[in-house]
Amino acid sequence: MTSCHNYESLPAARRVAIFGGTHGNEMSGVTLVNQWIKNETEIQRPGFQIKPFITNPRAVEKCTRYIDTDLNRAFTTENLSAEKSEDLPYEVSRAQEINRLFGPKGSQEAYDVIFDLHNTTSNMGGTLILESSKDDCNLQMVHYVQNALIPMSCSVLLTEHPTLKYAASRSVAKRPVGVEVGPQPHGTIRGDVLDTMKKIIKHALDFIQLFNEGKEFSPCTVDVYRITESVDYPRDKDGNISAMIHTDLQDRDWQALNPGDPMFLTFDGRTIPYEGDSTVYPTFINEAAYYEKQQAFVITRKETLTVKGIRVSQA
């Protein structure tokens, strides 16, 4: 990697994977990946390998989020180096297998890019999830995809946070990209949601092809939503949820929440306002799978990142 003014030369992406079924009941991703395994034409591109892959086949089979534990939190150093044993939770041994096939995580042998396809019950639309504000190549890709999708919008969630970043399946790759599309109830396929997901992948693969083939991408800026906080539901003294998302907040992912705005409505009819001291942008509002993670939504702050120009390095 060489840097020249505000351009970087980066190696071509030769191995790309598309994961579906990391959560077995998120059906747009499961459906697309299964289709692509049967017929790769739609995702084939000249000059690099693209591997569609079902990450949690047992959860997909049962149409459930996971069997023993959340696969998308399982790629910790501890899990990946755990002694092989029959007592390991299914998802932990599966994480080790995925790490062998597409990693090892953090190594030069790892896949260049992994797209991991997810659905959410939240009204997030098409969303790309990135882990790093320094990855110019991923940010240029996001910029390309956002422009290609116009007039449809595609938000960027940045999970670069000391405690809120998690050990995701895609973290095995050098450049992990989460693709999150909603609203879609788990266990169902919505045509509109599946179509958005398919378009995002098409444009992202086009970008990689153009980059590999030598196209230069100029410096640019990208607006991202940086995760800063996780907000739980109000609870009673026994730990049970005592309020729901306020109807004024429901479905308003990515929209400004100002101090004093309604946030929750208790089951006995009391409005709980947002009491922060500045405007924030909630997302993952009322995601079904996050009730058990004690998360009603996450709070993000809007930020504009400056991205270097990139070109492929001549090997």
> Are the C-beta atoms of 72 and 119 separated by less than 8 Å?
no
Task: Give the single-character DSSP code of 232.
Answer: P
6 belongs to the binding site for its own copies (CB under 8 A): no
288 belongs to the binding site for its own copies (CB under 8 A): yes
Residues shown for the chain: 315
Stated as kind and residue range, the H or E segment containing 193 is: helix 191-212
Q: How far is the CB of 53 from its own copies (least distance, A)?
A: 18
Q: Known catalytic residue: 180?
A: yes
21, 23, 70, 102: which one binds Zn ion (CB under 5 A)? 23
Name the nearest CA neighbour of 168 among 92, 233, 73, 94: 73
69 belongs to the binding site for its own copies (CB under 8 A): no
> Are the C-beta atoms of 290 and 210 separated by less than 8 Å?
no
- Interaxial angle between packed helices 191-212 and 136-149, expressed in degrees from 0 to 180 and rounded to the nearest 10: 130
Give the x/- contact pattern for its own copies in 195-234, rule: CB under 8 A: x---------------------------------------
268, 278, 314, 315: which one binds its own copies (CB under 8 A)? 268
7, 9, 31, 82: which one binds its own copies (CB under 8 A)? 31
Count, residues near its own copies per rule CB under 8 A = 30
291 belongs to the binding site for its own copies (CB under 8 A): yes
Instruction: Return d(Cα 114, Cα 133) in angstroms, integer.
Output: 17
User: Binding partner of residue 291 among Zn ion, its own copies, none, CB under 5 to 8 Å per kind?
Assistant: its own copies
User: What are the Cα distances from residue 66, in Å, to 23, 33, 70, 88, 263?
Assistant: 6, 18, 6, 14, 30
Give the x/- contact pattern for Zn ion in 227-266, rule: CB under 5 A: ----------------------------------------
57 belongs to the binding site for its own copies (CB under 8 A): no
Stated as kind and residue range, the H or E segment containing 143 is: helix 136-149
> Are the C-beta atoms of 169 and 71 separated by less than 8 Å?
yes
Positions that interact with its own copies (CB under 8 A): 31, 35, 39, 63, 121, 183, 185-192, 194-195, 244-247, 250, 265, 267-268, 286-289, 291-292
